[in-house]
Chains A and B, each alone.
Chain A
Amino acid sequence: MTQLDSVIKPKTKRSKRFLESRAPKLTEDVKSAMIMKGGNTSLTITQALKDLYSLRKPNAVLYKKKNITRPFEDSTSLEFFSKKTDCSLFLFGSHNKKRPNNLIFGRLFDFHVLDMIELGIEKYVSLSEIKASKCPEGTKPMLVFAGEAFDTDNEHKRLKSLLIDFFRGPTVSAVRLAGLEHVLHFTALDGKIFMRSYRCLLKKSGCRTPRIELEEIGPSFDFVLRRTHLASDDLYKLAHKQPKALKVKKKKNISHDAFGTKFGRVHMQKQDLSKLHTRKMKGLRKRKGEVVTGEQGGQAPKVAKVES
């Protein structure tokens, strides 16, 4: 497709902008997610998908129709959808007797499936059931992962990376301190993963940093880890490759000492010390007349000494 793009020139500025937004870039924008349903879905699943879509607005697409595919067997239709909508994250919900209330979280690299993790919902409390004032849409949530499984187990590590990718919002350079409201908390325990979503209230404490009180809003899930399809190591490494232009170039000959003073090193050429310009003191300059009288005067006292 990229080959065709460069051969066929876009005829309008609008189409040109569209193609540029889809082209690979140095620093990428937010990933969009597509949320879709499988052949058979239950009420829990549809509600869950709607809630997760609202968590991920505006960078998400929710499909209404059912797609009769099985991501773990055949991922071509997923890849086709991602190419059409330029989405690199997907969430596929389905329900059958063998795997009730199934959610598949996945991500794509270069429109091919990278990772897919299947989670089953055991307990689910939806947004509407919890009566509390919600955070506005689009707030960047704080993510907290608890439990040593997220560090030790390989599958959990990938799941953690996938969840970070899914739930973090756009990368920003600065954040408003009063606007840090939303917290998503994931706990891994006994093979289960608990996801809770809270609203944090900043209370006064003695010092500048406020005290946190949490109030539960939002959907709460109890997941159980089912099948996984993880990318091979080299594909994973390839996906992480950053372009060289993004690397910060270190300036040489600059150092900082303990006090924060900036030191620099300047390299000079070899100096000819005979041609060095120093301060000229006019009074110390030798004059012709003075030299002669000095000599004569100098001789006389010597003679005098010998006599005495």
Chain B
Amino acid sequence: MAAHSVEALLAKAEQEEAEKLRSIAVHKELDLEFDVGNLLACDKNRIESRDFREQKKEDFLRSLARDNTQLLINEIWKLPTERVEEAIVAKLPEPTTPLPREKPPPKPKPPTKWEQFAKLKGIQKKKKTNLVWDENAKEWRRRWGYKRANDDTKEWLIEVPETADPNEDQFAKRVKAKKERVAKNELNRLKNIARAQKVKVPGVGLTPTAQQSKDELVRAVSVAKTSTASVGRFQDRLPKEKAPKNTGKKRKFEPLIGDFSNEKQKQLELLKVMDSKKPKLDITKAVNKQMREEDREEASAKYKKGAGKKGRKGNMSGKGKGKGGKGKGGKAAGGGGGKKRSKPGKR
């Protein structure tokens, strides 16, 4: 009797086990396609319209969904798992369905001029500390930027070096030098970008800037004229436009083996000049030229200063900055507004 009951119990247990095992098994004609990385399952089996209309729509869909989800869960449970902070986590593989990207992949940037040089020389980047000790403020300050350590521009006292002009403004000189450095950096950055994007940067004068001189304009016009298919041969000129000068060859070279007598003449003349005691540089002429150039500079500076000051104080012709101390040779050219110039010594 006991044996019977034990047998019965065993049989019952076996049956229950079998039932439970059945419950996760799903029978499908075609296997589903799984993309576990995306938690995706695709069922390719035909759905009979007959079944669909027999049962109620929702129930049919629900049973179909249940079967498919069961299969997907079976797949997911086959993955390796690990324990992360009291939760069991399954590691997903990479998604296999190809999906389009949002944006095209980034192009690798070509190296900048410095990067090329550094690679060539084998210069490594040195990691620098964030803060630097500032002696004056006796604290740690950032290396560059707002309130930086050892700030050059914030000095209240600058010693005038011996070689410099005592009336020169050292503070303005520093500010100007910094502005030039900033402008140069900006130009180099833009050049790097232009090189990276392979945009041809045109030469000086061809890109329109605010103040273009007459020569720059003439050059721009001539370049534009020659940039046609027939290199400017059939371009008409304006009625009063002159032909551009300096557009031929810049130097003329004699042929190697040409006129022997001519060559002999030239060599003999050269020897004669070398022998003579006469100086090649005409000093008075050079000095006059220099003086004229300086006068021109002064005039332009005064004009600019005058134009600036006009805005502020009516019609006051500003006296230019004292440019004393510049030696001027020989005759004094007529300059603006009674300036006294010291008589120069001979150069």
The reply to whether B23 and A214 form a contact with Cβ atoms under 8 Å apart is no
B87 within 8 A of A: yes
Q: How far is the CA of A178 from the CA of B83 in the complex (A)?
A: 12
Residues of A within 8 A of B62 (CB): 196, 198, 214, 216
Contacts of A23 in B (CB 8 A): 106
Known: A7-B190, A145-B41. A212 touches B73 (CB 8 A): yes
Check: B65 CB closer than 8 A to any chain A CB: yes
CA distance A150 to B52 in the complex (A): 18
Question: Out of A161, A175, A187, A206, which one reaches B61, CB within 8 Å?
Answer: A187
Flag if A164 contacts B99 (CB, 8 Å).
Answer: yes
Q: Are B76 and A146 in contact (CB under 8 A)?
A: no
Known: A3-B197, A164-B97, A177-B90. A24 touches B103 (CB 8 A): yes
B185 to chain A minimum Cβ distance, whole angstroms, is: 11
CB distance from B179 to the nearest CB of A (A): 17
Write the A197-241 contact mask toward B (1 if CB under 8 angstroms, else 0): 010101001111111111010000000000000000000101111
Check B20 for interface membership: any CB of A closer than 8 A: yes
Q: How far is the CA of A212 from the CA of B71 in the complex (A)?
A: 9
By beta carbon, the residue of chain A nearest B19 is: A206
Chain B nearest CB, measured from A26 CB (Å): 7
Query: For the complex, is B288 an interface residue (Cβ under 8 Å from A)?
Result: no
Q: How far is the CA of A306 from the CA of B158 in the complex (A)?
A: 121
Among B3-57, those with CB < 8 Å from A are: 17, 20-21, 23-24, 37-47, 49, 52, 57
Q: Is the CB of A109 within 8 A of B95?
A: no
Chain A count of residues within 8 A CB distance of the other chain = 70
**Which residue of chain A is the closest to B193 with respect to CB atoms?**
A6
Closest A residue to B46 by beta carbon equals A148
Asked whether any CB of chain B lies closer than 8 Å to the CB of A60, the reply is no
0/1 interface trace, chain B 173-200, chain A, CB 8 Å (1 if under): 0000000000000000110010011000
**Cβ-defined contact, B88 with A144, below 8 A:** no
Q: Are B38 and A168 in contact (CB under 8 A)?
A: yes
Residues of A within 8 A of B248 (CB): none
* Residue in A173, A198, A208 whose CB lies within 8 Å of B77: A208
The verdict on A177 contacting B81 (CB below 8 Å), with A214-B66, A214-B69 known, is yes
Verify A185–B68 contact, CB threshold 8 A: yes
Within 8 A of B (CB), among A245-295: none
A102 at the interface (CB under 8 A from B): no
Kindly state whether residue A147 has any CB partner on chain B within 8 Å: yes
Compute how far the CA of A107 lies from the CA of B66 in the bound complex, rounded to whole angstroms.
30
**Could you tell me if A183 and B69 are in contact, using CB atoms closer than 8 angstroms?**
yes
Q: Tell me the bound Cα distance from A143 to B64 in angstroms.
A: 13
- Kindly list chain A residues whose C-beta atoms are within 8 Å of the C-beta of B65: 144, 146, 183, 185, 196, 198, 214
Cross-chain contact of A211 among B70, B100, B101, B197 (Cβ < 8 A)? B70
Chain A residues closer than 8 Å to B103, beta-carbon distance: 24, 28, 88, 109-111
Asked whether, in the complex, the Cβ of B97 is within 8 Å of the Cβ of A175, the reply is no
Is residue A97 contacting chain B, with contact meaning CB distance below 8 A?
no
Residues of B within 8 A of A211 (CB): 23-24, 70
CB of B199 to closest CB in A, whole Å: 9
Query: Nearest A residue to B98 by beta-carbon distance?
Result: A240
Take A142-B69, A150-B42, A173-B92 as given contacts and tell me if A109 and B102 are in contact as well, using a CB distance cutoff of 8 Å.
yes
CB pair A175–B89 under 8 Å, yes or no, is: yes
Quick one: which of B23, B47, B95 contacts A205, CB cutoff 8 A? B23
Give Cα A9–Cα B189 distance, bound, in whole angstroms.
Answer: 10
A143 with B41, Cβ < 8 A, contacts A187-B61, A208-B77, A212-B69 known:
yes
Decide yes or no whether A174 CB sits under 8 A from chain B.
yes
- A194→B72 contact, CB < 8 A: no
Alpha-carbon distance A303/B240, docked complex (angstroms): 135
Which residues of A are found within 8 Å of B68, using beta-carbon distances?
144, 146, 185
B47 x A146 contact (CB < 8 A): yes
- Interface pair B41/A144, CB less than 8 Å apart: yes
CB–CB B92/A164 < 8 A: no
> Could you tell me if A177 and B77 are in contact, using CB atoms closer than 8 angstroms?
yes
Contact residues, B99-155 vs A (CB, 8 A): 99-106
Chain B residue nearest to A114 (CB atoms) is B100
* Residues in B neighbouring A241, C-beta threshold 8 A: 101, 104-105
Given contacts A24-B103, A25-B106, A180-B76, are A189 and B66 in contact (CB under 8 A)?
Answer: no
Is B84 part of the binding interface, using a Cβ–Cβ cutoff of 8 Å?
yes
Distance, CA A242 to CA B102, complexed state (A): 11
Choose among A88, A107, A146, A190 the residue that contacts B43 (Cβ–Cβ < 8 A): A146
Contacting residues, chain A, for B44 (C-beta < 8 A): 148, 150-151
B106 partner residues in chain A, CB cutoff 8 A: 23-26, 243
The reply to whether the CB of B167 lies closer than 8 angstroms to some CB of chain A is no
> Could you pull out 18 A-B pairs where Cβ atoms are within 8 angstroms?
A3-B197, A24-B103, A109-B102, A143-B40, A143-B41, A146-B42, A148-B45, A161-B99, A175-B76, A175-B92, A176-B89, A180-B76, A185-B64, A189-B47, A189-B52, A196-B61, A200-B69, A208-B77
List residues of B whose CB falls within 8 A of some A CB: 17, 20-21, 23-24, 37-47, 49, 52, 57-58, 61-62, 64-66, 68-70, 72-74, 76-77, 81-82, 84, 87-92, 95, 97-106, 189-190, 193, 196-197
- 20 additional contacts (CB under 8 A) given A7-B193, A107-B100, A174-B82: A7-B190, A28-B102, A109-B104, A142-B39, A144-B69, A146-B65, A148-B47, A174-B92, A175-B89, A175-B92, A176-B89, A180-B76, A187-B61, A189-B52, A200-B73, A206-B17, A210-B77, A211-B23, A212-B69, A214-B69
Nearest 5 CB-CB pairs, A to B? A206-B20, A239-B100, A243-B105, A24-B103, A185-B65
